[in-house]
Amino acid sequence: MTFYQREIIRIRSICYSNKRQIEAVIGTRNYINSNFDQELNLGLLSRIRFTSKFHLLRLFKKYYGLTPKQYLTDKRIEKAKEFLKEGLAVTETCFASGFETPSSFSTLFKCRVGLAPSEFQKRATFTKSV
């Protein structure tokens, strides 16, 4: 049984929802995971899933505990960490992970991770070499 199949069973057992709701939410999450580096917004996500943006927002929050925007930000930070560990420059990491400006990226990264991107990269590189 795959991770996604287990997630579907878990979500169904908690929420007792219909299959279309689950498909909409999981489809939205998969789309975000595949396109995190693109400009995404609630309007676009709702058009892709053929649902109202407010309904999608409520469903996503109900199932994952985050709004699609919060999930997208978390996904971008996660990818930025991977890029920094691989040695990508901070500016390149910023744009590769879907952020618009290096300053907003650095501020958000420091807020979420507790370290500036350059400091995170230094520590990751040091840990790798030891």
Are 83 and 120 part of one and the same domain? yes
Write out the residue range of the structural domain in which residue 107 sits: 74-129
The amino acid present at 69, given as its one-letter code, is K
Are 38 and 91 part of one and the same domain? no
CA pair distance 85, 61, nearest whole angstrom: 30
Cβ distance 68 to 45 under 8 Å? Answer: yes
Are 15 and 60 part of one and the same domain? yes
Q: How many domains does the chain have?
A: 2
Are 57 and 85 part of one and the same domain? no
Are 10 and 56 part of one and the same domain? yes
The model scores a pTM over 0.75: yes
Q: 84: number of CA atoms within 13 Å, CB side?
A: 26
Q: For 12-59, how does the pLDDT look when each residue is reduced to its tens digit (9 = 90+)?
A: 777 655 778 888 889 999 999 999 989 999 999 999 888 898 999 999
Q: For 65-111, how does the pLDDT look when each residue is reduced to its tens digit (9 = 90+)?
A: 999 999 999 999 999 999 999 999 999 999 999 999 999 999 999 99
Residue indicated by tokens 């609630």? 42
Cβ distance 4 to 26 under 8 Å? Answer: yes
